[in-house]
Amino acid sequence: MNRQPRILLTLVLVAVIVGTGYVIWTDLAKPEFPSAETVSSTAKPTRGGRLTVTQRSEPRSFNRLVSLSAATDVFTQLTQARLVRVNRATHELEPWLAERWEASADGLRFTLTLRDGLRWSDGAAFTTDDVLFTFRAVYDERAASPIASSLRIGGQPLTVTAPDARTIQVIYPAPFGPGLRLLDNLPILPRHKLEAALEAGTFARAWGPATPPADLAGMGPFQLVRYEPGQRLVLTRNPHYWRRAADGTALPYLDEVVLEVVPDQNAELLRLQSGEVDMFQQALRAEDLAALRPLVDQGKVSLLELGVSTDPDVFFINLRDRYWARDPRRGWIVRRELRQALSHAVDREAFAEAVFLGAAVPIWGPVTPGNTEWFSPNVPRYPYSLEQARALLADIGLTNRDDDEWLEDEQGTEARFTVLTYRGNLVLEREAARLAEDARHVGLALDIVPLEQNALVDRMLRGDFEAIFFGYNATDLDPALSKDFWLSSGAAHIWNMAQATPATPWEREIDDLITRQSASLDPTERRRLFAEVQRIFGEQVPALYFVAPRLYMGVSARTINLTPSVLRPQLLWAADTIAVTP
């Protein structure tokens, strides 16, 4: 995908969709927030200054090839670079470490020319050897890279060679619709820093949180100089960064970026209100808008409206049969009817009102109306109906057999299970609580257990959970670049990850459709195939989606030259061009 937990599991316009049944929330007074262009044009960007940003968790690793965490992804955005980059505002492919490329007529062979004279942040020369090393590392089985599956086509790795000192040739094993966009998934890492670990079989543990900053190196705009666990990461300008602004100014503009670790969203808001931080890494909550309005009126804070999120939060049950093998609930907990009943039990309009103050639209799948190119309105929907929910539960043997409010199965086992979510993410905690309340109305007991983000991710990756309510990010809107989510073998197939063979016929069917969709070079055919994928997903509901929020970002008024995106991180993806006024 890559998709990531708010996790990066490898995961920007409010559109009126005619005839789809989507509710357009006109009862929320639409703020007259400035556009990104307006904010960016208030002052000419100049070099210097510090930007302070909150983030809700710490990196599990500084090595993006082995870690799926959101904090690691943001760190990578700031410190590393790719051969080519997908611009997250325009969604166009851009030259990056490679200054140009050529493609063969059959779309299988790509020849990339590296920029001349590039250096790593520690001063070492950047060469084709670094590119070859990175591909070797991501495919090394000992590294167990969670993004390796997203860099395979038809299950086969890419063939990468270096014909000369500035040329990289990439050969695809089969046609691939998005072409070189695939390489946006892969940050290039320094051979001189990490090859010894790869050879020793310790690459998966290399660049852990305890690694001294001097042992890291990158091609991104910033470099880590200090990490205070539980508090902050301090990054300064990479002296060897290669990009320049249109007027020739060396980038990045900023001298320093400080990532303050603030797990609690209320504490984040207080820091922005007090002027201690310049922005959040993630979007505002709906209730934060009113709290920030006085500061907007005073000219201290700017608010941006980005549109409908393309990364909705998700609820899913562990569908690994082996997990439930000895559990008395195994007869009904993995049944599709249970998931369909839960979907019917949720009043999505009331859900949007309760959690997002109406600033959200109902959805029935992972692709939202914010993803205008790939969204299909023709997916199965589960209208709010407690009667239909109860009927589906009865079909799998769940009825009320005693005097309490909960259903039981034929053995008398209560219809109860545990839902993990992120502690400190108040939106997710409210969503989970709302789901539990709706489920209670049909006799299902959901016990909500908030965990620290990294602890939740660990549980999920081990398959040690009953159900989870959380969020993940897509790094690209093209579904062929989210194959690790859609394919049964994918590392981001959250309800049952990395299957050796598809566990169900419908997963096998989606595997086939996604493989064909990825291989097609015909845009119309690719959209048709993916619409079918969305239909099957909606029928089987392996994961439940309820609403997609509108996105708002809040920044200090001194923060300028922003390039927002609906994709996370909405602002820091273009950190090299962000500036602050004196």
167 in Cβ contact with 114 (< 8 Å): yes
Per residue in 48-93, pLDDT (tens digit) is: 999 999 998 999 899 999 998 889 999 999 999 999 999 999 999 9
Please determine, for residue 435, whether its predicted confidence score (pLDDT) is greater than 50: yes
Separation of alpha carbons 541 and 335, rounded Å: 10
Residue of 128, 498, 479 whose CA lies nearest to 320: 498
Portion of the chain with pLDDT greater than 70, in percent: 93
Q: What per-residue confidence (pLDDT) applies to 149?
A: 83
Please determine, for residue 324, whether its predicted confidence score (pLDDT) is greater than 80: yes
pLDDT band with cut points at 50, 70 and 90 for residue 43: confident
Classify 531 as helix, strand or coil: helix
Per residue in 118-130, pLDDT (tens digit) is: 999 999 999 999 9
Q: What per-residue confidence (pLDDT) applies to 42?
A: 57
Q: How is the chain split into domains, by residue range? A: 314-549
The count of other CB atoms within 10 Å of the CB of residue 350 is: 12
Per residue in 144-187, pLDDT (tens digit) is: 998 998 899 988 999 999 999 999 999 999 999 999 999 999 99
**Counting beta carbons within 10 angstroms of the beta carbon of residue 90, is it exposed (0 to 12), middle (13 to 18) or buried (19 or more)?**
exposed
Separation of alpha carbons 465 and 446, rounded Å: 13
DSSP state of 500: S
* Ramachandran assignment for 307, one of left (phi > 0), alpha (psi -120 to 50 degrees), beta (any other): left
Q: What is the mean pLDDT of residues 443-468?
A: 95
Please determine, for residue 4, whether its predicted confidence score (pLDDT) is greater than 90: no
Please determine, for residue 29, whether its predicted confidence score (pLDDT) is greater than 50: no
Separation of alpha carbons 562 and 573, rounded Å: 10
Instruction: For helices 128-139 and 191-200, give the axis angle rounded to 10 degrees.
Output: 30
Q: Full-prediction pTM beyond 0.85?
A: no
Long-range (24+ apart) CB contacts under 8 A made by 431-440 are 431/313, 431/351, 431/355, 431/469, 431/546, 432/315, 432/469, 434/346, 434/351, 434/354, 434/355, 435/315, 435/342, 435/346, 435/469, 435/546, 438/342, 438/345, 438/346, 438/347, 438/351, 439/342, 439/345, 440/405
Radius of gyration of the chain (CA): 24
Cα 72 to Cα 48, 56, 130, 521, distances in angstroms: 25, 12, 20, 33
Q: What is the mean pLDDT of residues 209-233?
A: 97
Please determine, for residue 37, whether its predicted confidence score (pLDDT) is greater than 60: no
Separation of alpha carbons 560 and 34, rounded Å: 12
69 in Cβ contact with 5 (< 8 Å): yes
Max CA distance (Å), the chain: 77
Mean per-residue pLDDT of the chain: 91
Q: What per-residue confidence (pLDDT) applies to 24?
A: 22
Q: What per-residue confidence (pLDDT) applies to 317?
A: 98
Determine the straight-line distance between the first and last CA of the chain, rounded to whole angstroms.
39
Please determine, for residue 33, whether its predicted confidence score (pLDDT) is greater than 80: no
**Counting beta carbons within 10 angstroms of the beta carbon of residue 207, is it exposed (0 to 12), middle (13 to 18) or buried (19 or more)?**
buried
Please determine, for residue 2, whether its predicted confidence score (pLDDT) is greater than 60: no
Per residue in 361-395, pLDDT (tens digit) is: 999 999 999 999 999 999 999 999 999 999 999 99
- What is the DSSP annotation of 333-356? TT-HHHHHHHHHH--HHHHHHHHH
DSSP state of 361: E
The count of other CB atoms within 10 Å of the CB of residue 439 is: 21
Portion of the chain with pLDDT greater than 90, in percent: 85
Q: What per-residue confidence (pLDDT) applies to 392?
A: 98
DSSP state of 8: B
Residues 6 or more apart in contact with residue 17 via CB below 8 angstroms: 369, 375, 377
484 in Cβ contact with 510 (< 8 Å): no
Per residue in 310-319, pLDDT (tens digit) is: 999 999 999 9
Q: What per-residue confidence (pLDDT) applies to 35?
A: 40
What would the two tokens of residue 478 be?
Answer: 């093209």
Q: What per-residue confidence (pLDDT) applies to 496?
A: 98
Please determine, for residue 356, whether its predicted confidence score (pLDDT) is greater than 60: yes
Give the homologous superfamily in CATH for domain 314-549: Dipeptide-binding Protein; Domain 3 (3.10.105.10)
Q: What per-residue confidence (pLDDT) applies to 476?
A: 87
What would the two tokens of residue 450 be?
Answer: 């908030």
Q: What per-residue confidence (pLDDT) applies to 10?
A: 37
Please determine, for residue 578, whether its predicted confidence score (pLDDT) is greater than 90: yes
pLDDT band with cut points at 50, 70 and 90 for residue 524: very high
Separation of alpha carbons 358 and 24, rounded Å: 9
Please determine, for residue 293, whether its predicted confidence score (pLDDT) is greater than 80: yes
